[in-house]
Amino acid sequence: MGEIFVLAEHRQGVLRDVTFEMLGKGQELAAAMGAPLTAMLLGHNVEGFATELAKHANQVLVVEDERLEHFNSESYQQVLAHLIAEHKPGLVLIGHSAYGMDLAPSLATQLDLPLVTDCVGLELEGGQPFAVREMYGGKVSARVAFRQADTYVATVRQAAFPVEEGAPLGGEVVAVDSPLTEEITYRKFLEYVEAAVGEVDITQADVVVAVGRGIKEADNLALVEKLAKALGGVLAGSRPVVDAGWLPPERQVGQSGKTVKPKLYLAVGISGASQHVAGMKASSTIVAINKDPDAPIFKVAHYGIVDDLFKVVPALTAQLGG
């Protein structure tokens, strides 16, 4: 297997964490294969990023083009197809992020390469890569094989791998001429829109009581709100509750919402999908109430109560004097 390529992901002047997580994993795989690790950086005025990435890779391929200032899956696909055809890497790692999900499947299809998405594990066996990914909301794991190919593509779950703080690799920064020829007119980036701030900033609270799908109905929210009040905390929620319109988007905890790190995070009726866990796992103390003993939330919680929330929440509120 040839070298390992990692697509550097950046937005609004910041290299995103998943880039370094992939480079850490990439370094481990590259060492096992005796292959070099290469970061691919696409953008406009990104010299600073190239210097930073060079510490984590043997080589940084930089494609500088003002048409790459903002992510666009169409232009990214054209550039990556060019780089992959030119260098024939053994493995290409892309973040399973809003960018990667928009890009990797069409790129792999164009180049007729096997792709495994949302990987939480990657390993080599007999020179062949295997992926581990989750199914059924994290209740089941799957070991997945790629069809034999010269180049394999994997998208990597965000925050699945740690960032390795090893000695700088001192990679070489190589400028590559942009292969983009004409303006892409059929898909154009217009602007970013920031989330509304809202009345309550849940990221600043010491106690966050978050409610999930288990609450069943909007009317039941009052029950949990009472508990939040008794604890002197704020009420937040997981995606299904916000999707249903029962809580405003600024109260959503998770990858696409807010990341919180309170002293106490109380998860009520939340199953613990990885997208949710990404937004709360750094909390000091995590308590989960859920009637499903197999709910993935119990893997991240410090304390768990396997019972009906409609019995436990009122009892707890009463003991808090609420």
Partner 1 sequence: MDIVVCVKHVPDTTEAEIAIRDDERGIEKRGLVFDINEADNYAVEEALLLKERFGGSITVLTVGPPEADETLRMCLAKGVDKAVRLTDGRFEGSDSYATARILAEAIRELGRRPSPIGYDLVLTGIQADDDGCGQVGVTLAEMLGIPHAALVISTETEDGKMKVHRELEGGLHEVLEIELPALLTIQTGINEPRYASIFGIRQAMKKQIEALDLGALGLAEEAVGEAGSKTSLVRLFIPEVTAQATILQGSPEEVSSELLTIFKNEGVI
276-295: contacts with partner 1 (CB under 8 A): 284-288, 291-292, 294-295
Q: Which amino acid is at 126?
A: G
CB of 72 to partner 1, least distance (A): 8
Q: Please give the Cα distance from 240 to 193 (Å, whole number).
A: 22
Which residue is listed with tokens 């019995």?
A: 311
| 301 touches partner 1 (CB under 8 A) | yes
How deeply is 170 buried, as exposed, middle or buried, from its count of CB atoms within 10 A (0-12, 13-18, 19+)?
Answer: exposed
Task: Select the residue interacting with partner 1 from 127, 181, 182, 186 (CB under 8 A).
Answer: 186
| 13 touches partner 1 (CB under 8 A) | no
| 158 touches partner 1 (CB under 8 A) | yes
H or E, element range at 106: helix 98-111
Task: Select the residue interacting with partner 1 from 172, 175, 189, 322 (CB under 8 A).
Answer: 189
| 229 touches partner 1 (CB under 8 A) | no
Q: Which is nearer to partner 1, 55 or 130 (CB)?
A: 130
The length of the chain in residues reads: 322
Task: Select the residue interacting with partner 1 from 71, 84, 93, 226 (CB under 8 A).
Answer: 71
| 7 touches partner 1 (CB under 8 A) | no
Task: Select the residue interacting with partner 1 from 27, 78, 178, 255 (CB under 8 A).
Answer: 255
Task: Select the residue interacting with partner 1 from 150, 174, 243, 261 (CB under 8 A).
Answer: 243
| 207 touches partner 1 (CB under 8 A) | yes
DSSP β-ladder status, 115-125 and 128-135: antiparallel
Q: Please give the Cα distance from 276 to 246 (Å, whole number).
A: 17
| 74 touches partner 1 (CB under 8 A) | yes
Q: Which is nearer to partner 1, 38 or 78 (CB)?
A: 78
Phi-psi region of 12 (alpha: psi -120 to 50; beta: other; left: phi over 0): left
| 135 touches partner 1 (CB under 8 A) | yes
| 201 touches partner 1 (CB under 8 A) | no
DSSP 8-state code for residue 82: H
Q: Please give the Cα distance from 178 to 67 (Å, whole number).
A: 10
Phi, psi of 64, rounded to the nearest 5 degrees: -100, 125
Q: Token digits for 303? A: 């304390």
Task: Select the residue interacting with partner 1 from 25, 56, 133, 226 (CB under 8 A).
Answer: 133
CB of 236 to partner 1, least distance (A): 13
Q: Which stretch binds partner 1 (CB under 8 A): 20-28, 51-59, 127-135, 170-178?
A: 127-135
Phi, psi of 213, rounded to the nearest 5 degrees: -50, -30
| 130 touches partner 1 (CB under 8 A) | yes
| 248 touches partner 1 (CB under 8 A) | no
Q: Please give the Cα distance from 268 to 210 (Å, whole number).
A: 6
| Site map (CB under 8 A) of partner 1, residues 86-125, x = contact | ----------xxxx-xxxxxx-xxx--xxxxxx-------
Q: Token digits for 30? A: 């590259």
- Of 20-59, binders to partner 1 (CB under 8 A) are none
**How many angstroms separate the first and last alpha carbons of the chain?**
62
